[in-house]
Amino acid sequence: MIRVADFVNALSLRTLSPSTKTEWPIEQADTNRPGLQLAGHFDYFAQERPQVIGKAEMAYLDSMNSEKRLERLKAFFSYNIPCVIICRGMMPHEELLELAREHDVPVYQTDVNTSRFSMNAIIYMREALAPRATVHGVLMDVYGVGVLITGRSSVGKSEAALELIKRGHQLVADDVVDIWQVSDEQVRGEAPEMVRHLMEIRGLGIIDIKAMFGIGSVLMRKTISMVIHLEKWDEQKEYDRMGLTDEYTELMGVKLPCITMPVKPGRNMAIIIEVAARNYSLKQSGYSAAQELDRRTNEMIQQRMNQNG
């Protein structure tokens, strides 16, 4: 469902004809330009989408006499369409507004050209209709990399995030992160409105990061690029010391790099998370320090074998 008020506010629409509906049962993030429908062709009519009227459609309506225009618009409004948006600041014909009121279909106006409006509407609906979930963790922007810090309660997620904020990085969400799937390869996260920009520090209570560190210390939302899982140091466990094998986890069906970091007193987790973010960026550009060490080792072994050969 798309909430009408959110759609209107997000796309800065002016209401030309209101409606009693508060939600639309839209299932697909797309719009429809009803040129063929205004010409009388209703096969494969995407009636469930917002109907966008641009310069071409308006010029075609202008070319008709009042009687024919009314006939075509009656057929158009006989379908259960969610809304009509008039682009380029154009004013619709009175017949269109009358039929819209009769069928309880809202009509909006925007000064944006048709192609740009359709693109903006699709982007908004894609996010609004995206599958959503809630995860426990802290989401940070570290050197431009969206880092989701997870781990059990009291392991030190918020403390590490607070140190990162002091070092100039940005908080997106603490403790509760709302996530949604933007595409097959992207998951985005933000904080619930109730706790946005707030952080809980055990023994200190709730602090307001935005008020304390300034507007530059927070971010509304961020695409999650990697997951760092904090856990208490286990002497019996063998931790990865080379990094030759990448580990992954899934969020909403999207595969993301995941690093398990052991926590113990004296270990500065903020600096390690910074290094992990920088290392991720290096890997994205095609460079891996572990693979470089492996290459050098193999070269040295090959040289010694040749010398002894």
43, 184, 237, 241: the active-site residue: 241
Whether residue 163 sits in one domain with residue 62:
no
Whether residue 256 sits in one domain with residue 112:
no
Per-residue pLDDT at 138:
95
SS3 182: strand
Per-residue pLDDT at 243:
64
Whole-angstrom distance, CA of residue 109 vs CA of residue 4:
14
Query: Tell me: the pLDDT tens digits for 29-45?
Result: 999 999 999 999 999 89
In this structure, are residues 108 and 14 in contact, taking their beta carbons and an 8 Å threshold? yes
136, 166, 167, 296: the active-site residue: 136
Per-residue pLDDT at 6:
93
Strands in 191-247 per DSSP E = 198-201, 205-208, 221-223, 226-232
Whether residue 112 sits in one domain with residue 91:
yes
| 205: in domain | yes
| 300: in domain | no
Whether residue 213 sits in one domain with residue 109:
no
Query: Tell me: the pLDDT tens digits for 142-174?
Result: 999 999 999 998 888 999 999 999 999 999 999
- Tell me if residue 241 is catalytic: yes
| DSSP per position, 79-125 | S----EEE-TTPPPPHHHHHHHHHTT--EEE-SS-HHHHHHHHHHHH
| 61: in domain | yes
Whether residue 287 sits in one domain with residue 145:
yes
- Tell me if residue 184 is catalytic: no
| 103: in domain | yes
Phi and psi torsions of 172, nearest 5°: -105, -50
Whether residue 141 sits in one domain with residue 120:
no
- Tell me if residue 157 is catalytic: yes
Whether residue 267 sits in one domain with residue 280:
yes
157, 169, 188, 229: the active-site residue: 157
Q: Find the domain containing 56 and state its range.
A: 2-129
SS3 213: helix
Give the chain's mean pLDDT: 91
CA neighbor of 108 nearest in space, from 160, 192, 31 = 31
Query: Tell me: the pLDDT tens digits for 16-29?
Result: 999 999 999 988 89
Number of domains the chain is built from: 2
Question: Is the predicted pLDDT of residue 78 greater than 90, yes or no?
Answer: yes
Beta-bridge partner residues of 231? 262
Of 76, 101, 129, which residue constitutes the final position of a domain? 129
Question: Is the predicted pLDDT of residue 267 greater than 90, yes or no?
Answer: no
| 297: in domain | no
309 — pLDDT class (breaks 50, 70, 90):
low
SS3 132: strand
| 92: in domain | yes
**What is the number of residues in the chain?**
309
In this structure, are residues 231 and 149 in contact, taking their beta carbons and an 8 Å threshold? no
Q: How many CA atoms lie within 13 A of 61 on its CB side?
A: 25
| 85: in domain | yes
30, 101, 126, 175: the active-site residue: 175
